Every structure is written in structure tokens, then in C-alpha cells.
Amino acid sequence: MVNATGRDLIILYFGEMPNQDAAIAALVLYLAVSIVILVLTTKTRAWFMLTVVLTGLLEAAGFMARVVMIRTPSSMAFIAMQCFLIISPVLLAIVEYICLGKLVAMSRAGRESRLMRWQSRLFAASDVLCLMLQGSAGGMLASDNLDTFNFGRKLMLVGLALQLGFFSMFTCLCIHVQRSGAYGMRGLAPARHIFVTLYATIALMFGRNIFRVAEFTEGYHGKLATNEDYFYGFDFALIFSCFLLFAAQHYGIYLARVRAELDPAIAASGGAGAGGPVPVQARTEVQCFEVVVASRAEQRSQQSSKQGSAGSSSQQGTRQGLPLLGNTVQIAQDVKVVGGWGQ
């Protein structure tokens, strides 16, 4: 039971008495969905999805801090709650960027484009920047100095606004990759599942960030910050919906299916795992090499059988060695042309 002093502290921070049962329920739900995603990630070996699991655990830690804050109010519990619940969803964007990068890398156009090869790294770097800004802001919000506190609030706003901008650019890139015939994603059912999940989760995170921007613009004593219903409706519900989508439409499962449709031979050889098989172009070059070598070997065998046995063994070796050298050079030239290495 919270004493009068503790109750006053809770009212000071929350503007009302928060619901402890709701916080416990959110904690349990995040733990449960994180376990499901962990199992799916282990089965598909799409290890980049572990970032989602980590985010779920951080969200659970945030609600644990909320429960602690309600039971034994303290400024440290409130700061921990704010940092976990505000900053941790930033990590989910990295998963989106990596997923699109893996999808693009399956196409020849994506592998040949230097910009597309770097897009996931560039967007991930932008997400790290937002994470650093919001993390620094979270530390400043813990300050007793009013000026430092206000600067931290503004810095948090900058981090959230920047993330909204990067989300917008990333969405445009997703639309380009999906609609462009160069990437070969049009008409692929597994790719459509991935893009639907990408668009849905980005929209959910976008809406959540808009809520947080509005909340920090009003301040901690504004209507949004002091009404728990807004928090659960526009933060918890939106971010948890992202987790449900990640569990139902796990990227590891559908990335493997996209690979299998782009190159059925990969699925037949059991190499369609999320870890990444040999690209289609590279596999084709190896096959071309094998065909050319086999053809040249057969030609050499036929030529050798037609040659007479006159002359000494050393002279015969010399005569056979010259065609062999010429054939070897020709093989290299043919492989270069057929495999596309000279392009």
C-alpha cells in the first residue's frame, strides 16, 4: 500500500494514480511475444530478428519499472521507466532496414547498385544517431536542474522528429523496391507478405512517434502525459502490435521463401535458410565454368585419340602439350564471356 507521501510523488509524476494491473499485463504480454519470436528466430536462423527479442525484453523492463514506481515511488524508477519505454522502440527500425537490405541483395540489380548495398547501413547509422540523441536526452531528464531538464526534453523531440523523417524516406525506398521490375519482387507472394509487414510496422511506429512528439511538446504536465489511457492507446498498443506482426509474419520465414522462388535450385538443395545461400548469379557462373570445362575436356580427348603414335615420347608430349595449353587459354576466355566476368 502506498503511503500519502508516495501517493503524492506518483501524482506529481503521472498526474493520476496509474493502473498497476495494466502494467503487469503489459509486462507479461511482452515477455510472451518475445519468447515466441525467439523460437521462430532460432528455427529460421534469421539472427537479425534477435533485435526484436531484445527490444521486447527492454519494453518488459520498462513496465517492470512502472510497477516498481507504483509500489515504491522513486525518481530513479520513473527515469528507468521513461528510458526503457521511450528509447527501446528505436531498435525496431534497425530490423526493418536490415530486412529490406537482405531482400534487395537477392536481386542482381540490388547487388550491382552501390547505393542499394549501402542503404541498410546508412539507415541503421541514422537509427543509431536517433538512439544516441534520445539516450542523451533521457539522461538529461534525470537532472534536477530545470534548464538541463528542458534541454533534454527538446533533445528528445529532435531525436523523435529525426526518426519520423528517416521513416518517411525509408517508406519511399520500400515502395521503389516493390514496384520496380529490376528487383524482381513484383508478383512474389512471400515478398508481398514482407512489404505488408514493413509498411504496417513502420506506420505503427510512425504513429507512436507522433504521439511522443506531441506529448513532449506539451510537457510532463500536459494532457497526454497525465492521462494513462493515451499512453496505452498510442504507445503500448501500437508497439505491441508491431511485435504481433513480427511473430505472425516473421521475416526469417518469408525471406527464405523469397529465395526459394527466385531460385528453386536453392530450395532443392536445402540452402534456403535465412543465413543466405549462394547468389543466383554466382551459382550460374559456376555452372557455366563446369559446362565449358567438360566440353573442352571432351574435345581434347577426341583430338588426342586422332593423333598418331609416331615419334619419340618426348616429341609426342611436346605436340600434345601445345594443344593443351591452347585449350586451357580458350577455356578461360569462354568462361569469362559465358559467366559474365568480363562485364
The pLDDT assigned to 216 comes to 85
> What is the CB neighbour count within 10 angstroms for residue 314?
8
The pLDDT assigned to 307 comes to 54
Show pLDDT as tens, one digit a residue, over the chain (343 residues). Answer: 455 577 888 888 888 889 999 999 999 999 999 999 999 999 999 999 999 999 999 999 999 999 999 999 988 898 899 889 999 999 999 999 999 999 888 877 777 776 676 777 888 889 889 989 988 887 787 677 878 888 888 898 999 999 999 999 999 999 988 888 888 888 889 999 999 999 999 999 999 999 999 988 888 788 998 899 999 999 999 999 999 999 999 999 999 999 888 876 444 444 444 444 444 443 433 344 444 444 455 555 555 555 544 444 444 444 444 444 444 444 444 444 333 333 3
Cβ contact 218:5 at 8 Å? no
The pLDDT assigned to 304 comes to 57
Q: List C-alpha distances in Å: 305 to 300, 301, 302, 315, 324.
A: 9, 6, 5, 16, 14
CA dihedral of residues 17, 18, 22, 25 (deg, nearest 10): -120
The pLDDT assigned to 95 comes to 95
Residue type, 30: Y
Instruction: Please state, in angstroms and rounded to a whole number, the distance separating the CA atoms of residues 34 and 19.
Output: 23
> What is the CB neighbour count within 10 angstroms for residue 308?
7
pTM equals: 0.74
CA angle at 332 for the pair 329 and 336, rounded to the nearest 5°: 145
Looking at residue 226, the DSSP 8-state letter turns out to be: T
Q: List C-alpha distances in Å: 104 to 129, 136, 184.
A: 24, 34, 9
The pLDDT assigned to 301 comes to 57
Cβ contact 80:103 at 8 Å? no
Strand runs labelled E in the chain: none
Q: List C-alpha distances in Å: 72 to 20, 57, 187.
A: 12, 22, 56
Cell numbers found for residue 18: 496509474
Q: At how many degrees (to 10) do helices 237-248 and 189-218 cross? A: 170
Q: List C-alpha distances in Å: 145 to 95, 139, 150, 151, 157.
A: 36, 12, 9, 10, 19
Tally of CA atoms within 13 A in the half-sphere of 293 that contains its CB: 7
Instruction: Please state, in angstroms and rounded to a whole number, the distance separating the CA atoms of residues 181 and 187.
Output: 10
The percent of the chain in helix, strand and coil, each rounded to the nearest 5, is: 80, 0, 20
> What is the CB neighbour count within 10 angstroms for residue 287?
13
Domains of the chain and any CATH numbers: 4-268 (1.20.1070), 280-304+317-339 (no CATH)
